[in-house]
Amino acid sequence: HRSPGQIHVVQRLAPSEETLAFQRQLTALIGYDVTDVSNVHDDELEFTRRRLVTPRMAEVAGRDTKLYAMHPWVTSKPLPEYLLKKITNNYIFIVIHRSTTSQTIKVSADDTPGTILQSFFTKMAKKKSLMDIPESQNEQDFVLRVCGRDEYLVGETPIRNFQWVRQCLKNGEEIHLVLDTPPDPALDEVRKEEWPLV
């Protein structure tokens, strides 16, 4: 049983200086002030907006919040020949960082991030404290994130199909990943500031 949607009625706040500055930039770029609704009566536009509300709400309600918060950048294209040559016996080395420590492990190019985490935790079972990992935690509590980027390696995709991994292979660079706690989807809030719909 789906709960009915809610409509929140709030007093419209005076636009902030940031909002006004942003609006001026938009107007300059578009060449038209979209906030000026005095002469806009486009029935087709309003009808389309109303028609899109329901499928959009259904899409948001049904999405995987975890995957949405970490949105992996993957490809399904087969690995090109020149990249295949850079992988020896279907194995690649990745460096996993945690705190001030790092550990290099050899993984299969067909391994998924979950498999890699599992084998990493098996290997580190007696050395958790070295990696600043509480004894009570296991691979379920962590994800692999690209060093220095807000990009995660998650899901059931083989590691060779992640764009960042392919980029590193192409450039002959080491693959550096951070053992991180996943972002909390509950904190993925929409800013309540209202922008005019264009």
- 116-162 pLDDT tens trace: 999 888 888 777 777 778 788 778 888 899 998 888 998 889 999 99
For 26-34, what is the mean pLDDT? Answer: 83
Q: For residue 160, which phi and psi values (nearest 5 degrees)?
A: -70, -15
> Alpha-carbon distance 180 to 99, whole Å?
10
Contact 72, 144 (CB under 8 A): no
pLDDT, averaged across the chain: 83
Predicted local confidence at residue 116, as pLDDT: 92
pLDDT at 54 over 70: yes
Average pLDDT over residues 67-79: 85
Q: Tell me the average pLDDT across 89-95.
A: 92
pTM (2 decimals)? Answer: 0.64
78 pLDDT above the threshold of 50? yes
Instruction: State the architecture of 70-183 in CATH terms.
Output: Roll (3.10)
pLDDT band for 188, please (50, 70, 90 cuts): low
What value does the mean pLDDT take over residues 169-184?
A: 89
CA dihedral 157, 162, 168, 172 (to 10 degrees): 50
Residues of the chain with CATH 3.10.20.90: 70-183
pLDDT at 98: 87
pLDDT above 90 as % of the chain: 26
pLDDT value for 40: 61
Mean pLDDT of 65-88: 85
Please report which confidence band the pLDDT of residue 198 belongs to, taking 50, 70 and 90 as the band edges. very low
pLDDT at 4 over 80: no
102 burial via Cβ count (<10 Å: 0-12, 13-18, 19+): middle
Residue owning tokens 């990992």 = 133
Range from 78-82, 107-111, 134-138 carrying the lowest mean pLDDT:
134-138
